Amino acid sequence: MKEYKVIILDLDGTLSDSGIGITKCVQYALKKLNIIEEDLEKLKHFVGPPLKDELMKTYGCSEEQAKQGVEFYRERYTPIGIYETEIYPGTEEMLEMLKGNGKYIALATSKPLPMAEEVLKYLKIYSYFDKVMGAELKGPRQSKVDVLEALFDEMPDSITKKQCIMIGDTCFDIDGANTVGIDSIGVDYGFGDKDEMLAHGAKAIAYSATELCNMLLK
């Protein structure tokens, strides 16, 4: 694998195991929309893609209902769900190694930016990042592509896309990287499917943060 100067990381399912917090908040929002789902496992596909889109796709919500669902989700997520997360083993050590080897480290997540920053601070890894980019709470920047394009707008002009690689756990990350024209690696310890990520063009699959670190420092 070629050497990359800029490492762009997804958050949920890549740096942190946030499944419980996210699925419980989706369950809470669905209940307020009069949709009952007792099995949290059936809600894991909500980790990664924009929440509004997934509510419309999965439950046939209108755009207005889905927007209301997002507000309900945040009622629980902001005070409680945001902290129902833990860092994957070896992740902080990986970030420390990447930073020590002169890598530019960025975050690109579909989670709203203020919430993403709060999670990084809660996990005590915020200081490793040169740039953090997330979705807007109410603005048009929502998809992974939107977030990546905004990230490139704010990174130094000296950085080229050939120097960048996207790391994520779902096809949304791989597809986003493809759309903006950068390479990608999938991680198998998150919420996506490794075979799907490879089929969508991921250059490789990492099975742990330690293995990912070794790939990026070869």
List the catalytic residues.
10
- Cα 89 to Cα 8: distance, rounded to the nearest angstrom: 19
φ and ψ at 87, to 5 degrees?
-75, 140
Nearest to 173 by CA among 21, 3, 15, 52: 15
Give yes or no for a contact between 54 and 42, defined as CB atoms under 8 angstroms apart.
no
Q: Which amino acid is at 17?
A: D
| Neighbour-count burial for 152-175, b at 16+ CB within 10 Å, e otherwise | beebeeeeeeeebbbbbbbbbbbb
Q: Which amino acid is at 80?
A: I
φ and ψ at 131, to 5 degrees?
-150, 135
